[in-house]
């Protein structure tokens, strides 16, 4: 049975620089004016829906990149 992959969003958020956080926020369609505010917050302070979207978009990116690597 294949291992289920997950994206460690809290670990990424803790270790990422602000510009890396901003790129992830752009992927989940956060408005430009909110990116600066959210990128400087701690992961636990982010809205639950945003955390879910970030985990989902990175997980889907991993899945599709593996499918297209053949």
Average pLDDT over residues 53-64: 80
In a domain, 57, yes or no: yes
**Does residue 2 register a pLDDT over 70?**
no
Are the CB atoms for 43 and 10 separated by under 8 Å? yes
Average pLDDT over residues 40-57: 91
d(CA 15, CA 33): 23
pLDDT per position as a tens digit, 23-36: 989 988 999 999 99
User: Given this model, what pLDDT does residue 62 score?
Assistant: 72
**Does residue 67 register a pLDDT over 70?**
no
Residue 38, SS3?
A: helix
The structure tokens listed for 35 are 């990116």
In a domain, 58, yes or no: yes
What percent of the chain lies above the pLDDT cut of 70? 83
Residue ranges making up the domain that contains 61: 18-67
Residue 17, SS3?
A: coil
In a domain, 59, yes or no: yes
Q: What is the pTM of this model?
A: 0.75
In a domain, 12, yes or no: no
Residues 6 or more apart whose Cβ sits within 8 Å of residue 11: none
In a domain, 13, yes or no: no
How many folded domains does the chain comprise?
1
């Amino acid at each position: 049975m294949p291992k289920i992959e997950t994206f460690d969003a809290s670990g990424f958020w803790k270790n990422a620089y602000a510009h890396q956080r901003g790129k992830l926020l752009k992927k989940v369609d956060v408005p430009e004016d909110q990116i600066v505010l959210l990128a400087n917050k701690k992961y636990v302070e982010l809205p639950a829906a945003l955390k879910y979207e970030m985990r989902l978009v990175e997980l889907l990116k991993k899945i599709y990149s593996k499918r297209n690597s053949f």
